[in-house]
Structure 1
Amino acid sequence: MNAAALPPPAPTSVRREASPSRSAANPSETEAQLLAEVVELIGGDLAACERIYADELASAHPAVRDVRDHVARYRGKRLRPILTLLAGAACGEVNDKHRTLAAVVEMVHAATLVHDDVLDGADVRRHVATVHSRWNPRTAVLFGDFLFTHAFHLAATVDAAACRAIGAATNAVCEGELTQIHERGNADLTEAEYFAIVGGKTAALTAVSAELGAVHAGADEATVEALRSYGEDLGVAFQIADDLLDLVGEEGCVGKSLGSDLSEKKLTLPLIRLRDRLPEGESQQLKTLLADPPADARERLLPLLQRTGALESAVATARERAAAAVARLDELPDSDAKRLLVRLARFSVRRTF
């Protein structure tokens, strides 16, 4: 099984009145099609976010500009700024605060990517060299810091509450990463401990991205909490899908170094499920393999993951969290922005990139 074989979610009857052919959950929908519709709705706001991002990171130093321009090549699909802008549109109207905060959450995310690549020893991200492999770890660490400091500098232009919310999320990201480092090599990691790590290192930033969109559109407390919970559930689903890609994805398609979880001795959900489904003797053999993973560990684990159903079990959990994210949106009135939030959640668990 590879990532492309992840079963698509069941279709829904929600449609745009203006375009009946656009299903809210099209099983054959591609990433490009979904992003095209996002751009159609909030493209001007995304462009403004990009300008704010570029202006904030302007530098007179060529060495800094070099790294900045390189990192721009693997910043990804801008999920977090898209969440801020779509949440704002779903709760009211997008304004300048949304555009600025969308740039802020993207800077924080970019900083975590640069630092993560150092921690994981990854050489490739989105088909280009990582900062530490092209330059050196010192450059990567300092440039990640540069992104963090600029993010908070920019957030301060909005209001103190936004700074506190982003600060709390960034604290959770760092705590999640620190905990994950501490638990490396722990073959007895529990599911509860795994989800606590994921809730910090990934879901905290997607949660605050959606929350900020609601807050700065003037949404009531219940709606703000619904959007925050939507972002949290989406972030967990997204991370489980990422863990699956690390085990069964194809590097040429995914565009980043794979197998890093194994090499770094991180126990992810599919491996936890595998461990708990194996008989005692085989479970102990698995722990021995994970303690010192050989070069062909991915290939050796795949038949076990398939035979025990651990792979499909993890896929099912990712889909459940995506469905939970969609259910959070019941708080919102129907709109194009809401429909796109629904589709983003569902698409997050059938990525092939």
Structure 2
Amino acid sequence: MTGSPRPVGVPSAVAPTAALAAIPGATDELMARVAAGLEAVEARIRVEVDHEDPFIAGASAHLLSSGKRFRPILTLLAAELGDGFGPGVETAATAVELTHLASLYHDDVMDEAEMRRAVVSANAAYGNSTAILVGDLLFGTASRLLAELGPEAVRIQAETFVRLCSGQIRDDHPCPPGTDPVAYYLGVLADKTGVLIATAARYGGMFSGCDDVTCQILESYGEKLGIAFQLADDVLDVTSDESGKEPGTDLREGVDTLPVLYVKASTDPADRRLQELLARDLRDDDAAHAEALALLRAHTAVQRARDYTRQVAEEAQQVLEPLGDGDAVQALRALAAGVVDRTV
């Protein structure tokens, strides 16, 4: 890597109407309120990533267009269970998205990625050192914002950050001997993906005046939603040609996602060829990668992973039962169902 970035423009903001496609079945009134809140959050994000140094400003904004604003949308939806959108909710939703954005910079370095959803990756554009430091800068910005909301918000952010980093570290290392690989992987997903989505939902309740019980329900819902969201990505990596990245990227990189773990645990002699391929380094072996992907796509492990994703999404919906059946709760249930629909 060189120290000079490739020419990149500052990406435009995510269109709120496009991002709100993530809320299937929401009423027009609810959509209008969340859209207005999301526009305010989007504007706040743009302000917070700006910097007096043009180079830092450009690097900090580089990945802004790569997200769907799933987490701030969840914060805004959760706030509907309380007093709705307000300054605290705006600040919390902004901080959650900045935390997620920061993690993408670190992910690009860890993955040695060249592209992220049709955008040149941060490390490819700016080099590893700058990508890491920009990620740290964004984490710091998120923490500064949450400090405005009080010590409890800062404590939750710190605990979230610890779990997020723990999940990333464990994801980068093999399952320890004597540990169930599926249980280990699900724990990794809860930490690296579930925890920040859980915090997004919890903040929405906290800063809209919800009581502690409601906030705890939202947090539990969010963690299960986050796990289901990542499990759906596991399936899409195998099955989809339209996921924004090369099909079988995890397979090529040797990532043991849930369908792969199911195949590796199989005792069926018919799976020996696929198991043999999964034991290889597929990074530079296009023929073996293509064969492994074809065999995996045809394997019952994919449907089994879909079924488990549906189960986790249904558990997320069940967590919401004490909150009644208002418009916002129905939208949260639909959000969980929509995660599963992505895999079909």
Q: Which bin holds the TM-score, normalised by the shorter protein?
A: 0.7 to 0.9
Change over 3 Å in CA distance of 1:290–1:36 after alignment to 2:
farther
Q: Choose from 236, 258, 263 the match for 2:252.
A: 263
The residue that corresponds to 1:61 in the other structure is 53
2:331 and 2:190 map into 1 onto residues whose CA distance is 23
Change over 3 Å in CA distance of 1:192–1:184 after alignment to 2:
closer
Change over 3 Å in CA distance of 1:285–1:245 after alignment to 2:
closer
- Once the two structures are TM-superposed, the CA of residue 312 in structure 1 deviates from its matched residue by 0.1
Change over 3 Å in CA distance of 1:238–1:155 after alignment to 2:
same
Change over 3 Å in CA distance of 1:153–1:302 after alignment to 2:
same
Percent of counterpart pairs with the same letter?
Answer: 33
| Secondary structure of the corresponding residue to residue 277 of structure 1 | coil
Q: Choose from 182, 199, 202 the match for 1:191.
A: 182
Deviations 1:81-117 (Å, cap 9, x if unpaired)? 1111111112342221111000000000011112112
The residue that corresponds to 1:328 in the other structure is 319
Number of aligned residues: 322
1:303 and 1:185 map into 2 onto residues whose CA distance is 29
- Once the two structures are TM-superposed, the CA of residue 306 in structure 1 deviates from its matched residue by 4.8
2:32 and 2:287 map into 1 onto residues whose CA distance is 44
1:1-353 equivalent positions in 2, closer than 5 A: 39-74=31-66, 76-183=67-174, 190-250=181-241, 253-279=242-268, 282-283=271-272, 286=275, 289-293=278-282, 294-351=285-342
Higher relative contact order, structure no. (Cα contacts within 8 Å, ≥ 6 residues apart): 1
1:241 and 1:295 map into 2 onto residues whose CA distance is 25
Structure 1, 231-240 or 326-335: larger mean CA deviation: 326-335
Structure 1, 299-308 or 118-127: larger mean CA deviation: 299-308
1:209 and 1:331 map into 2 onto residues whose CA distance is 20
Structure 1's unaligned 5+ residue stretches are 1-28
Change over 3 Å in CA distance of 1:91–1:331 after alignment to 2:
farther
Structure 1, 142-151 or 329-338: larger mean CA deviation: 329-338
1:128 and 1:184 map into 2 onto residues whose CA distance is 32
Change over 3 Å in CA distance of 1:339–1:155 after alignment to 2:
same
Change over 3 Å in CA distance of 1:91–1:263 after alignment to 2:
same
Q: Work out whether residues 296 and 302 of structure 2, in 8 Å CA contact, stay in contact via their aligned partners in 1.
A: yes
Taking structure 1 as the reference length, what is the TM-score of the superposition? 0.83
Partner amino acid, structure 1, of 2:137: F
1:245 and 1:216 map into 2 onto residues whose CA distance is 34
2:37 and 2:231 map into 1 onto residues whose CA distance is 30
Change over 3 Å in CA distance of 1:70–1:352 after alignment to 2:
farther
Q: Work out whether residues 306 and 343 of structure 2, in 8 Å CA contact, stay in contact via their aligned partners in 1.
A: no
Q: Work out whether residues 86 and 337 of structure 1, in 8 Å CA contact, stay in contact via their aligned partners in 2.
A: yes
Structure 2's unaligned 5+ residue stretches are 1-19
Change over 3 Å in CA distance of 1:209–1:298 after alignment to 2:
farther
- Once the two structures are TM-superposed, the CA of residue 352 in structure 1 deviates from its matched residue by 7.0
Change over 3 Å in CA distance of 1:180–1:111 after alignment to 2:
same
| Secondary structure of the corresponding residue to residue 341 of structure 2 | coil
Partner amino acid, structure 2, of 1:44: A
1:190 and 1:284 map into 2 onto residues whose CA distance is 21
1:247 and 1:299 map into 2 onto residues whose CA distance is 11
The residue that corresponds to 1:26 in the other structure is none
Change over 3 Å in CA distance of 1:297–1:230 after alignment to 2:
farther
2:85 and 2:107 map into 1 onto residues whose CA distance is 31
Deviations 1:163-200 (Å, cap 9, x if unpaired)? 111111111110001011121899x8611101111110
Change over 3 Å in CA distance of 1:80–1:296 after alignment to 2:
farther
Partner amino acid, structure 2, of 1:123: E
Change over 3 Å in CA distance of 1:65–1:297 after alignment to 2:
farther
Taking structure 2 as the reference length, what is the TM-score of the superposition? 0.85
The residue that corresponds to 1:13 in the other structure is none
Deviations 1:224-246 (Å, cap 9, x if unpaired)? 22111110111011001111122
Q: Work out whether residues 184 and 266 of structure 1, in 8 Å CA contact, stay in contact via their aligned partners in 2.
A: no
Q: Work out whether residues 108 and 123 of structure 2, in 8 Å CA contact, stay in contact via their aligned partners in 1.
A: yes
1:209 and 1:238 map into 2 onto residues whose CA distance is 14
2:113 and 2:154 map into 1 onto residues whose CA distance is 31
2:272 and 2:166 map into 1 onto residues whose CA distance is 29
2:23 and 2:207 map into 1 onto residues whose CA distance is 29
Change over 3 Å in CA distance of 1:39–1:257 after alignment to 2:
farther
